[in-house]
A and B are shown apart, each in its own frame.
Chain A
Amino acid sequence: MRPAQAYPTGLDVDLDVFSGPFDLLVTLVLREEIDLWEVSVARLIGDYVVHLADAGDFDLDTTSQFLVHVATLLEMKSRLLLSLPGDDDVAEVEAEEAGEELLAALVRYTQFRRAAEALAGLWTRHAGRIARQAGLPACYSCPPSPGRRMPPAALAEAMAPLLREPAAPDSSHITDVAVTLVEELRRLRVLLRRGGAFSFQSVAPRGRLERAVTFFALLELHNRGEVRLAQKRAFADIVVTPLVDLEASAAG
């Protein structure tokens, strides 16, 4: 089939100059040179993948463009399928609508394509006309110097705000972290020394960040072998049991 071969050429040359499926549709369908139905989209994509592999580098723009082209092609093909006389009444109405929509788009496109042809005619007549483009001779085209109108003080005035020290930004809305890891470790050790085992829930503060610090302190204690942590199931309360002589560890 011809069409399958006609495509990759456009693809190989440059997708950007390939004027696009609508143009294609009009040209191909109207002149019946190439039947849209016979354009194998799968083959087209296959060729493009090979083309990508050969090119070595991956150009996102070109590839996106290609995807748009292929998507438009597929949409047009499916619309043509829809406009087949169907058994279902509803489907038929929808197909008719889709067909009319496609027709309307084609009519509008044709209108602009003809306008473009008219522009091309004007271009041929006028684009080559030669007129002077150089500016006026320098001595006549100089803009009046601002120096005559502006006192030197104006320069200092313009500079002054740049030299002024800006006010310190207001940071009152930012609060410090209320607890530190060291403080939390100290607090937990006191608790362990005083009462032995306790649960995480009973000692953890309210704030999310503070709870996280407490949890981190527990992990640290566990890491050092000072406590044993036990949890019955995921997300259950954690029971903390002292393992070492805290008096000794606090002293050390």
Chain B
Amino acid sequence: MDHLTRRLEAILFLAPRPVPAADLAAACSAGDDAVAQAVGRLAAEYCPGRHGVELREVAGGYQLVVAEDCESAVISYGGARAPEDLSPALLETLSVVAYLQPATRADVARVRGVSSEWALAALEERGLVAEQGRAETPGAPILYGTTDRFLMVFGLRSAAELPSLDGFAPGTDDVEELRARLLANAERRTP
């Protein structure tokens, strides 16, 4: 490995969070292109299956993570624990915030049909969403958005990498089925 690549490796070895390419460039007094190429070489070196750690691009930066087949050893060594799973209610609330951000409580409630105060508080506590100022509408409600930690635990480089919301829209058939069931339900009740 050349000197720049080795220096990047050293920084990533110690960094407690994903390091943006710009920070790597500044630390090594190197140009963006040179860093991009060096990161490419590092990624090839630390591709899955070669070492006990892998390079991944996440939350706007680069990070060395433990290879999946080595995780069990690390867990028995350090007692690391996987984050507690999110309940469907939390995932729903999170997806509304992620796609509509910055979103108010009312935005979330409008989609979910229920007050989501508790869910938002729980997500905030887990560091997945955070307040991002206040809306300039009457009552100045708090605006929520996702955090870097959100990007990390979901393996996203940025919020723009979320799968498109349009892709989840129910198709015409699904909508017709929903309608038919609503109607059937209503008709069954007709006296």
Q: Which residues of A contact B (CB under 8 A)?
A: 16-17, 19-23, 25, 29-30, 32, 35-37, 61, 64-65, 68-69, 72, 80-81, 83-85, 99, 102-103, 105-120, 122-123, 125-137
Give A94 to B116 CA distance when docked, in angstroms. 29
Evaluate contact between A116 and B14: CB separation under 8 angstroms. Answer: no
Evaluate contact between B163 and A118: CB separation under 8 angstroms. Answer: yes
Which residues of chain A come closer than 8 Å to B58, judged between CB atoms? 126
B158 contacts A by Cβ under 8 Å: no
Q: In chain B, what residue has the closest Cβ to A36?
A: B185
B88 contacts A by Cβ under 8 Å: yes
Q: How far is the CB of A122 from chain B (nearest CB, A)?
A: 4
Which of B1-9, B28-36, B132-140, B149-157 has 4 or more CB atoms under 8 Å from chain A?
A: B149-157
13 pairs, CB–CB < 8 Å, chain A vs chain B: A19-B114, A37-B185, A68-B115, A80-B185, A84-B187, A108-B111, A109-B111, A110-B178, A112-B111, A115-B95, A118-B168, A119-B94, A130-B65
Tier of interface size on chain B: 35 or more
Evaluate contact between A111 and B113: CB separation under 8 angstroms. Answer: no
Q: How far is the CB of B124 from chain A (nearest CB, A)?
A: 15
Q: When A103-B175, A107-B169 are in contact, do A127 and B94 touch as well, CB less than 8 Å?
A: no
B182 contacts A by Cβ under 8 Å: yes
Q: When A83-B183, A112-B95, A116-B91 are in contact, do A20 and B170 touch as well, CB less than 8 Å?
A: no
Give A44 to B181 CA distance when docked, in angstroms. 25
Which residues of chain A come closer than 8 Å to B182, judged between CB atoms? 29, 80, 83, 99, 102-103, 106
Q: When A20-B112, A129-B155 are in contact, do A112 and B168 touch as well, CB less than 8 Å?
A: yes
Majority SS at the chain B contact face: helix
Give A111 to B187 CA distance when docked, in angstroms. 26
Which residues of chain A come closer than 8 Å to B181, judged between CB atoms? 29-30, 32
Evaluate contact between A19 and B85: CB separation under 8 angstroms. Answer: no
Evaluate contact between A128 and B170: CB separation under 8 angstroms. Answer: no
Evaluate contact between B113 and A22: CB separation under 8 angstroms. Answer: yes
B82 contacts A by Cβ under 8 Å: yes
B57 contacts A by Cβ under 8 Å: no
Evaluate contact between A127 and B92: CB separation under 8 angstroms. Answer: no
User: Among residues 141 to 191 in chain B, which have CB atoms less than 8 Å away from a CB atom of chain A?
Assistant: 152-156, 163, 165, 168-170, 174-175, 178-179, 181-183, 185-190
Evaluate contact between B168 and A126: CB separation under 8 angstroms. Answer: no
Evaluate contact between A84 and B186: CB separation under 8 angstroms. Answer: yes
Give A127 to B81 CA distance when docked, in angstroms. 11
Which residues of chain A come closer than 8 Å to B64, judged between CB atoms? 131-132
B87 contacts A by Cβ under 8 Å: yes
